[in-house]
Chain A
Amino acid sequence: MTADADMDALLLDYASGALPEGPALAVATMLALDPRARAGYRALEAAGGALLAALEPQPVSAGLRDATLARLDESPATPLARPPSPAAGALPAPLRRYAPDGLDGLRWTRWGKSVQEAVLPLGDRSHRATLLRIAPGQGVLHHEHTGTEYTVVIAGGFSDDTGHYGPGDLQLCDPSVVHRPVADPDAECLCLGVLSAPIRGTGLVGRLVNPFLKF
């Protein structure tokens, strides 16, 4: 399981705004699904608010207030993303802007008989985010990591050597981890995967498919 200290460091990076879009999507999805993690997270944003409130105010330029007042009547910039359709309603809120038509509106690629993957359109290209559907009881390719992998379970669950992960659980894999996640036997496992660099298959099959594991 993800160690508490790793999780706290990740939550602080999300609260401060330092986390890039991809990992931030993983953390936001986890928080959307896990009320306990969210309660703990609120203390971090409150710390940001407390740091702001405790600062000695710095006088602003004479014209700033009037300039700001003059801009209040501008209509707020409309968000670029179109509003999600009802089909997206079942997904956690942070994912909806990336899958506005729900799971069926995404382009799924099959990996063998048991795994499907759909790429999510991140603006920041330093990471790759995908949704994965793993058939009940089936495993993902045994793989190692060349960067950090964030996996968040949205529905169902999976197990590997480090333990079992259910909805709202986030697994953090650094390059030292080699694993083969296997979906729970009773239901399809839907999860979000965010990668900072490609994974590499291990073993004979893995080496054969590596050229196809595009980043």
Chain B
Amino acid sequence: MTDAIPATTIGPAPNHWRRASKARGMQQRVLTSPEQAARLEDLLDRVAQRRDRQAFVELFDHFAPRLKAFMLRGGADPETAEEIAQEAMIAVWNKAVQYDRSRAALSTWVFTIARNKRIDMLRRQVRPEIDPDDYPAASGEPEPDRTVALNQAAVDLRGSIAQLPAEQREVLQLAFFEDKSHGTISAELGLPLGTVKSRIRLALARLRGLMGDHTP
């Protein structure tokens, strides 16, 4: 068994060679444990319940640099990346009461907010959203409290993405970081559409299996 690829070096980054050399020490520092995730959720609770600015500052210090990194990976210039990060953090402040830790890990919720801000700001489009509080046909959907499981799943998911075959990971990264459709990915990689779709299918099957393990 070879060493697991540290999640911090997911995929080919411009400064990949430099990161790889210090990746081992980085892994401890960068990865968020389930306990840290729970602490971040408590901070968000304080924002939601008490409009606690100090709690927000800590959330900002954690998420804003990651949101900036995310947008830079998507090809944004530093100024735009910070602008989107800022708008996303303001939305975190405004929407804090809507976060439900039994439904998604906090990093997932913050990702969806940043994604929507990017669509809003760069494409000037509306994104039709599913409303988590209102599913007309959702009666009977099992929603037990699985906060701890979700946070563990989030950590496992990171490892799992890092261990996907490179070609499958590449498709996920192009999709999420660069906001590219599978059609665009197929054109840019010069691959048949069917090949890209089957890579997506294989990657998602693995990730869903992992999430399923955490869903009673």
Contact at A72–B53, with CB atoms within 8 Å? yes
List residues of A (20-54) whose CB comes within 8 Å of B's CBs.
20-21, 24-25, 27-29, 31-35, 38-40, 42-54
Report if A18-B137 is in contact (Cβ < 8 Å); known contacts: A52-B110, A55-B70, A72-B90.
no
Inter-chain CA distance A141–B175, complex, in Å, is 37
The tally of CB-CB contacts under 8 A between chains A and B is: 234
Asked whether B127 lies within 8 Å of A24 as measured between CB atoms, the reply is yes
Whole-angstrom distance between the Cβ of A14 and the nearest chain B Cβ? 9
Complex interface: chain B residues within 8 A of A24 (CB): 127-128
Are A18 and B175 in contact, CB atoms less than 8 angstroms apart? yes
State which of B125, B137, B172, B201 has its C-beta within 8 Å of the C-beta of A20.
Answer: B125
User: A49 near B154 (CB under 8 angstroms)?
Assistant: yes
Whether the Cβ atoms of B128 and A35 lie closer than 8 Å is: no
| B24: chain A residues within 8 A (beta carbon) | none
Given contacts A20-B125, A31-B130, A65-B64, contact A54 B110 (CB under 8 A): no
A18 / chain B contacts, CB cutoff of 8 Å: 175, 179-181, 184
A119 contacts chain B at the CB level, 8 A cutoff: no
Contact A68 B19 (CB under 8 A): no
B 71-115 binary contact with A (CB < 8 Å = 1; else 0): 011000000011001100110011000000001110111111011
Binary per-residue interface labels of chain B (139-174) against chain A in the complex, 1 for a CB within 8 Å, 0 otherwise: 011000000000001100110011000000000110
A51 with B173: CB separation less than 8 A: yes
Q: Are A123 and B125 within 8 A (Cβ)?
A: yes
Residues of B that sit less than 8 Å from A by CB = 7-8, 10, 19, 26, 30-32, 53, 56-57, 60-61, 64-70, 72-73, 81-82, 85-86, 89-90, 93-94, 103-105, 107-112, 114-116, 118-119, 125-131, 134-138, 140-141, 153-154, 157-158, 161-162, 172-173, 175-177, 179-182, 184, 194, 196-198, 200-201, 204, 207-208, 210-212, 215
Q: Which residues of A contact B (CB under 8 A)?
A: 4-6, 8-9, 11-13, 15-21, 24-25, 27-29, 31-35, 38-40, 42-61, 64-65, 67-69, 71-72, 74, 76, 90-94, 97, 123-124, 167-168
List 6 other contacts, CB 8 Å, given A5-B201, A17-B179.
Answer: A9-B200, A11-B204, A16-B176, A20-B125, A43-B210, A51-B172
A and B contact pairs by CB, cutoff 8 A, 21 listed: A8-B200, A17-B116, A17-B119, A20-B125, A21-B125, A33-B135, A35-B137, A40-B208, A44-B207, A45-B104, A46-B108, A47-B172, A51-B70, A55-B73, A56-B8, A57-B65, A60-B65, A60-B85, A64-B82, A65-B64, A92-B137
